[in-house]
């Protein structure tokens, strides 16, 4: 076990984690370690955003005033990743990649952050591991033979396929409109309209439906998937079936409850318990970003959580 005790260990290098690190740095804290299980920061943005995706500061139609020092603006996937690269470089926060944290254990006057075969010690810890480590899956069974044709990102998508996108939020709309450039696309949503999406995406999907590049199945639930000779047969609740080459689910992510409970963080209504400063039921252990939100947050919200945490930790005097 390493003897070094960091001032702050942050688990998860997404927007909220980076903000917590950099805002603490700007307030004078040093010895900060940002721990990321993937090969680079912002795995959610890298894996789930399509290339050149428009990134909205006011995601899902929520207007967020930025409280802190990180001036995040509307942009693209690429400009957003560049923004985070630059602020990490400028503020020399230690980023430990390829390091998956299993849980956090409270010791007498510090936390022990458990990683495979080792641990990292820190006086304060922030959990910002997001909800996309486990994308939501449908509650009906996905037949084993169809696994390659059922996706949760656009990674395996190709061209000239008949694709069904499932979901009706911003991500689902963006996936459908993007795929429609080179594929025949339908979007299936259990509600009757796309009102949950932000205005830009509502307009994009309305245009796509009007010009026929996307077809919508609204107010419809899928009840089963079946293998139809190597294609996906989608059984709808009205009893009809439709056959697709590929089905892409964009129905959000889940709270990483196992991680939180094994670290002693209480969960209520599917979210970790925290006070106004994002401190959990354990003093010195904070939660931030998407895991604190019922149905996913946004980059700007995560940045504000990081700022609030930095102010609280530094007020508590190191």
Ligand X SMILES: Cc1cc2nc3c(=O)[nH]c(=O)nc-3n(C[C@H](O)[C@H](O)[C@H](O)COP(=O)(O)OP(=O)(O)OC[C@H]3O[C@@H](n4cnc5c(N)ncnc54)[C@H](O)[C@@H]3O)c2cc1C
Binding positions for ligand X, rule: CB under 6 A: 11-17, 35-38, 42-45, 48-49, 55-56, 59, 100-101, 128-130, 132-133, 171, 289-290, 296-300, 302
- The least CB distance from residue 158 to ligand X, in Å, is 19
**Residue whose CB is less far from ligand X, 143 or 264:** 264
The three-state secondary structure class of 23 is helix
- To the nearest whole angstrom, how small is the minimum distance from the Cβ of residue 317 to ligand X? 26
For tokens 């796309």, name the residue.
Answer: 194
Of 313, 317, 316, whose CA–CA distance to 19 is shortest?
313
Least separation, in Å, of the C-beta of 111 and ligand X? Answer: 14
- In the chain, what is the straight-line distance between the N-terminal and C-terminal CA atoms, in Å? 23
Contact 34, 41 (CB under 8 A): yes
From residue 204, give the alpha-carbon distance in Å to each of 165, 253, 278, 296.
15, 24, 36, 21
Name which of 172 and 208 has its Cβ closer to ligand X. Answer: 172
Q: Which residue has the tokens 């721990």?
A: 35
Cβ nearer to ligand X, comparing 187 with 231: 187
Q: Which is nearer to ligand X, 58 or 228 (CB)?
A: 58
Q: How far apart are CA 199 and CA 222, in angstroms?
A: 26
Structure tokens, 195: 């009102």
* Cβ nearer to ligand X, comparing 36 with 204: 36
Closest separation in Å from C-beta 159 to ligand X: 20
d(CA 210, CA 194): 14
Q: Kindly report the CA angle at 115 between 112 and 121, in degrees rounded to 5?
A: 25
Residue 303 class from Cβ within 10 Å (0-12 exposed, 13-18 middle, 19+ buried)?
buried
| Shortest spacing between CB 119 and ligand X, in angstroms | 13
Distance CA 201, CA 197 (A): 6
**Distance (Å, whole) CA 122 – CA 111:** 5
Residue 82 or 227 having the CB closest to ligand X: 82
Smallest distance from the beta carbon of 276 to ligand X, in angstroms?
A: 18
Separation CA 45–CA 51 (nearest Å): 10
- CB nearer to ligand X: pick between 59 and 286: 59
From the CB of 230, what's the least distance to ligand X, in Å?
Answer: 28
Q: Which is nearer to ligand X, 38 or 217 (CB)?
A: 38
CB of 245 to ligand X, least distance (A): 21
């Amino acid at each position: 076990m390493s003897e070094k005790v960091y001032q702050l260990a942050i688990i998860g290098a997404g927007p909220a984690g980076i903000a917590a690190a950099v805002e603490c740095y700007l307030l004078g804290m040093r010895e900060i370690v940002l721990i990321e299980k993937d090969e680079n920061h912002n795995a959610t943005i890298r894996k789930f955003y399509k290339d050149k995706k428009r990134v909205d500061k006011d995601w899902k139609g929520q207007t967020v005033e930025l409280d802190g020092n990180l001036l995040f603006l509307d942009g693209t996937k690429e400009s957003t990743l560049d923004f985070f690269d630059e602020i990490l470089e400028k503020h020399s926060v230690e980023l430990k990649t390829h390091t998956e944290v299993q849980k956090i254990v409270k010791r007498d006057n510090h936390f022990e952050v458990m990683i495979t075969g080792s641990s990292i010690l820190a006086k304060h810890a922030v959990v910002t591991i997001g909800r996309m480590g486990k994308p939501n899956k449908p509650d009906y069974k996905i037949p084993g033979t169809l696994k390659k044709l059922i996706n949760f990102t656009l990674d395996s998508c190709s061209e000239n396929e008949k694709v069904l996108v499932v979901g009706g939020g911003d991500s689902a709309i963006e996936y459908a409109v993007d795929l429609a450039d080179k594929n025949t696309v339908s979007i299936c949503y259990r509600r009757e309209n796309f009102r949950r999406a932000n205005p830009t995406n509502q307009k994009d999907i309305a245009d796509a439906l009007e010009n026929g590049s996307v077809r919508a199945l609204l107010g419809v639930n899928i009840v089963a998937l079946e293998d139809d000779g190597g294609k996906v047969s989608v059984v709808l609740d009205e009893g009809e079936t439709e056959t697709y080459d590929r089905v892409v689910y964009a129905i959000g992510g889940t709270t990483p409850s196992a991680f939180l409970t094994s670290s002693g963080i209480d969960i209520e209504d599917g979210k970790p318990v925290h006070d106004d400063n994002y401190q959990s039921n354990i003093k010195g252990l904070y939660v931030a970003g998407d895991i604190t939100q019922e149905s996913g947050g946004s980059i700007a919200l995560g940045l504000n959580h990081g700022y609030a945490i930095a102010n609280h930790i530094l007020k508590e005097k190191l």
